[in-house]
Amino acid sequence: MTVRAFFEAAKVEGVESPYDTIHLKILYPGQIPDQLEKSIGIEPANPEKAPFPVVIFLNGYNCDAQQYQWLAVKLAERGLVVVLFNWIAEGLSGVISLTPGIDLEKMKPTIYRTAPTASALPALLAKLEQLQNQGILAGMLDLKRIILGGHSAGGMVSIQNADPRFFPGVAASFAYGASSRGLLMMGYEPGTILPLPDSLPLLLMGGTRDGFMLNSSEAYGLSPGDATTPVIRTFQEAIAGGRNDSYLIILEGANHFSIVDQPDSTTVRPSLDLKATQLEENLRLLMSEIIGLFIDTYVRHQAEASQELEQLLTTVNSLIKSFERK
């Protein structure tokens, strides 16, 4: 399927200029090339699989949206609309950075779970409502089937805010290299694992070579354990499950940036990560297939996808160390 994209911008209420603007790249299934007439401007969407569920992908700190385009293209090829975005704003410790949008006030122990922690999400959802009413995707978006996905801090935000109480259109979430650990600096007791909404399908993925999970343990008062401990504890302690639609998948040989296309060594510190021991191309292909089948199973309710996902996860695969579901 042909994938095309266009750009948009959205204002964030309550944030001072110049840090109040999010820049979006929206990828969508395009028309089949031989059906197109010569034209200039944005190519029309292919209506065959409309209305399209929408994936909003939240980046890790200082990871440019472009670094996740490989995944966005794979998902758009399956008939999804995917929103990537860059927001330069104040993050942790007052540092200006590329941020997935975390409302630190809402992360405090006395407030957490009483309000959403995603500061970018309301502006992104408002922009989707606008796109549903005008432009090339008008009438083609399924805003009752929104999937939140993310990496690292963005993954944390995605799984914390997949809550119909705050965002009724959200239908599922997924994350790679993320956990629900509580930061000591926010006032949490050492070793705290924060609860998650636990009301929608959830896909958690981690890598056995995630050096950032190891090197950040002190900030959470956790014993180092191994690279997968925070993700495993999140799956075990943050949700009760019971519907068989929550997954934990540990990828053998994947590191923290295995989901990122060419990490920028000038803004992140890949030196803190461990070296991946599997080919990045193979890891990404597996990630995209797992994520795509998860969405097809639990958001698009495709029976054949459920069977394919089960087979993929239960067949012996050197890239999958372990798999759990509850």
pLDDT tens-digit profile of 22-31?
Answer: 999 999 999 8
Task: Please say if the pLDDT value at position 254 is more than 80.
Answer: yes
Instruction: Please work out, in degrees rounded to the nearest 5, the angle formed at the alpha carbon of residue 105 by the alpha carbons of 104 and 107.
Output: 60
Task: Please say if the pLDDT value at position 94 is more than 80.
Answer: no
Task: Please say if the pLDDT value at position 40 is more than 70.
Answer: no
Task: Please say if the pLDDT value at position 273 is more than 90.
Answer: yes
- Record the pTM: 0.96
Domains and CATH numbers, the chain: 3-325 (3.40.50.1820)
pLDDT computed for residue 203 by the predictor: 98
Instruction: Specify the length of the chain in residues.
Output: 326
Task: Please say if the pLDDT value at position 37 is more than 70.
Answer: no
| Residue 152 Rama label (left phi>0; alpha psi -120 to 50; beta) | left
Mean pLDDT, range 289-315, rounded to an integer: 97
Task: Please say if the pLDDT value at position 36 is more than 60.
Answer: no
Mean pLDDT, range 280-293, rounded to an integer: 98
pLDDT computed for residue 100 by the predictor: 97
Please report, for residues 26, 186, 194, 273, 289, the alpha-carbon distance to residue 297 in angstroms, rounded to integers and kept in the order given: 23, 37, 27, 33, 12
Better pLDDT: 41 or 140: 140
Q: Which two tokens stand for residue 140?
A: 């083609």
Task: Please say if the pLDDT value at position 39 is more than 60.
Answer: no
Q: How far apart are CA 153 and CA 163, in angstroms?
A: 17
pLDDT computed for residue 218 by the predictor: 83
Q: Rounded mean pLDDT of the chain?
A: 94
Least confident residue range of 3-12, 210-219, 250-259: 210-219
Q: Identify which of 142, 161, 176 has the alpha carbon closest to the alpha carbon of residue 247.
A: 176
